[in-house]
Structure 1
C-alpha cells in the first residue's frame, strides 16, 4: 500500500484539473435558461462560488460542490485537501457549513480498500474540524481517483457576500499565500522539499472559516476564494461582476517561499498556461515582467485563500481577523478602480 502514489492515476491534480475558464464559459453559454425564482439570491449569472437560496428574512441556504483528482500521493492528505477546498466556497459566500455529502469515484481494481478508507477519513477529519457531519454521499467506480464534497451551509440573506459587490476605491486583500500549483508541479517532478510539502499541506488544509466573520462587517463588499483559475482569473471575475478594473502590486503578493524559487526556475503547471490563454488579453503586466511572474498570477490554487474587496478604512481590521484565524500571511495587494473590467499588475 505504501508504494502506491495517487498522483500516478491522475492526468491533472487538485484545482489544476479544472476546465479552463474560456472553455467553461463557452460550454455554459450553451446551457438553456432555467427557472430563476425570486428567492434564488445567487445562481449561475455571476460565476460565484456557491448558490444561495433564501428561506426567510433571516435564513438562506448556501449550496456548493467541489471535487478533483489527487494533488498529493498520501491518501489522507488528499482527503483533507479536497474537503477543505470544498467547504471554502461556503465560507467565501459569508456562510457557515452545517453538513456535507461525500463525492467518491475510485478505480476499485487499482486502489486497495484501505487506501480509499484513508481518503475518506481525511475528508471526515476536516469536517469534524469544521464542526459538521458527513451526512451521506455517492460513490462510483472510475478510472481516476476523485474525491470531494457537497457543502451545505446557512447565512443571513443580508450578509451574503458575492464576487460582484466590489466598489471603486476598495482595498484588495488576499488571505493565503500563492504558489500551491507550483508546489504541486514540483512534487510531481520529485524536487519538492519536505519543508515545501509541509507548507503546501499547511495552507491547503487551513479552513477559510474567517469568511463568515468577515461577512458580518458592512465594509466588506465582496469575497471569493482563489482556486483553479489563479489570482488573475478570479480577480477578473470580481471586476466583471462589479463593472470595475483592478490594480495589483506584484511585490505585495504573498507567496510561499519555495514556490517562488521553483517558478523562477521554470516550474509551473500546464493549467497556468491554459489560464493565460483564456484571459490573458484582459491582464496588463509591466513591461519588464518575466515569464515566471505571469506564471505566478495565473497559478491554479487548490484550497487557496479568500480574495476580499473592502473599504480601505477597514483593511487593518480585516487583516487582524485573518491573522487571528490562520496566522500572519494576509496582505493588501491592490485596489479596485473605475474602468472597464481589466486587471493591471504593476
Structure 2
C-alpha cells in the first residue's frame, strides 16, 4: 500500500504485456543476420530463427524433439497474482503452439526492489523450478519453458497450404481492454479469463486433427502473426472480418481511444501487404490488436474454434479482408 491507495502495478511500466514487444519490422531487421550463423544444414535443429516461429525445436534421442522458448513482459494487470498466471500461460503457449507438451519451466523476474515491496512479486504464486531475478527499473515476469514434441506431429508456421481453413481459438480484444485497464483501473474479468486459459486443449485438438500449421496470436496481433505464417509458407490468406470473434467491451474500448502504440505499429507493418477492402478503421485496429496470451491461429478446423478465413495461393496481397 502507498498511504491508503493500493499499488497499481501497471503504473510502474511504460507498456503492458505483449504490447511492449519490439515492433515486428524492427525486430526482424535485428535478427535477420543471425539465422545463417546458427542454422547449419543437416543439423538436429528442426526449427530455428529462419521463419520466426514460436519456439526453437531440436531433435533428441529416443525419437522425440525438445521445444525451447522464453517469454516475459511488464505488468498487464494490476493484481500480482493474475499477472503471474497470465505470464505463465503466455510463456507456455509457445510450447503448445508447436504441438508440444511443457515439462519444465523456470521463472524470470525483474523487480524495482527500491520502489515496490518485494512481497508483491511473491504473490505471483508461480514457483515452478527456480529461475533468475534481477533488480530492474520496471517490473517484468515470465518463464523460460522447455517441452517435448513428436517431430513428425510438429505444428509449424511455414506449412500452410492453399484451400485449408483458418480457425481462431480465442476472441480478440485483449489488448484494448488491457490498455483501458492500465489507464482507468477498470477490471475486465473476460480479458483475464481469456489470458489465463491455457492453449493446451486447442493444441491437443489440432494435433489429433492432423493439423501441421499453427501459431499463437500475441504481441503482433492477428494480422501480424497471420502475415508471418503466410509469408513463411509462401501462401496468402483471406479473412472473413464478420466471422472474427471479440471479447465483450473490445469495440467500446477502441471507440473510446484505448489503443496501444504496439497495435498501431502492428497495423503499419502489415498494411503494405494487406488488401483491406471496405474494412473499417475500427476493425483494422482490432485485427491488429496486440494480444497477451492470445489463442492459437490454426490452419485447419478443430472443435469449438470458429473458422475465420482460408488459405489462398500466393497473390498480390498476402492478406485480403472481406
| Shared fold, TM over 0.5 | yes
Alignment RMSD, CA only? 1.6
SS in 2 for 1:200: helix
The answer as to 2:140 corresponding to 1:140 is no
Q: Deviations over 1:174-233 (max 9, x none)?
A: 0000001100111123174x4xx1101100000000244135336312010000000000
Q: Is the 8 A contact 1:60 1:156 kept in 2?
A: yes
What is the CA–CA distance in structure 1 between the aligned matches of 2:218 and 2:207, rounded to whole Å? 23
- Give how far 1:34 is off: 2.3
For residue 331 of structure 1, the aligned residue among 289, 303, 306 is: 306
What is the CA–CA distance in structure 1 between the aligned matches of 2:60 and 2:206, rounded to whole Å? 19
Residues 294 and 32 (structure 1), Cα distance of their counterparts in 2 relative to 1, 3 Å cut: closer
1:126-165 correspondence runs (5 A): 134-165=128-159
More helix by share: 1
The answer as to 2:25 corresponding to 1:22 is yes
Q: Is the 8 A contact 1:106 1:141 kept in 2?
A: yes
What is the CA–CA distance in structure 1 between the aligned matches of 2:258 and 2:116, rounded to whole Å? 29
Residues 78 and 259 (structure 1), Cα distance of their counterparts in 2 relative to 1, 3 Å cut: same
The answer as to 2:164 corresponding to 1:184 is no
Match of 2:86 in 1: 81
For residue 69 of structure 1, the aligned residue among 65, 74, 85 is: 74
Q: Is the 8 A contact 1:47 1:237 kept in 2?
A: yes
Match of 2:97 in 1: 92
The answer as to 2:255 corresponding to 1:264 is yes
SS in 2 for 1:105: strand
SS in 1 for 2:213: strand
For residue 275 of structure 2, the aligned residue among 259, 277, 284 is: 284
SS in 2 for 1:221: coil
What is the CA–CA distance in structure 2 between the aligned matches of 1:142 and 1:52, rounded to whole Å? 30
Paired residue total: 316
- TM-score calculated relative to the size of structure 2: 0.94
Residues 58 and 72 (structure 1), Cα distance of their counterparts in 2 relative to 1, 3 Å cut: same
Q: Is the 8 A contact 1:10 1:69 kept in 2?
A: yes
Q: Is the 8 A contact 1:77 1:201 kept in 2?
A: yes
For residue 35 of structure 1, the aligned residue among 38, 56, 61 is: 38
Match of 2:207 in 1: 216
Q: Is the 8 A contact 2:96 2:200 kept in 1?
A: yes
- TM-score calculated relative to the size of structure 1: 0.88
What is the CA–CA distance in structure 2 between the aligned matches of 1:183 and 1:35, rounded to whole Å? 39
Residues 94 and 297 (structure 1), Cα distance of their counterparts in 2 relative to 1, 3 Å cut: same
Match of 1:300 in 2: 290
Q: Deviations over 1:7-49 (max 9, x none)?
A: 1110000000001101101111243732335210000001100
- Give how far 1:279 is off: 2.0
Match of 1:275 in 2: 266
Match of 1:241 in 2: 232
What is the CA–CA distance in structure 2 between the aligned matches of 1:57 and 1:278, rounded to whole Å? 42
Residues 251 and 147 (structure 1), Cα distance of their counterparts in 2 relative to 1, 3 Å cut: same
What is the CA–CA distance in structure 1 between the aligned matches of 2:67 and 2:277, rounded to whole Å? 39
Unaligned 5+ segments in structure 2 are none
What is the CA–CA distance in structure 2 between the aligned matches of 1:212 and 1:140, rounded to whole Å? 33
SS in 2 for 1:135: coil
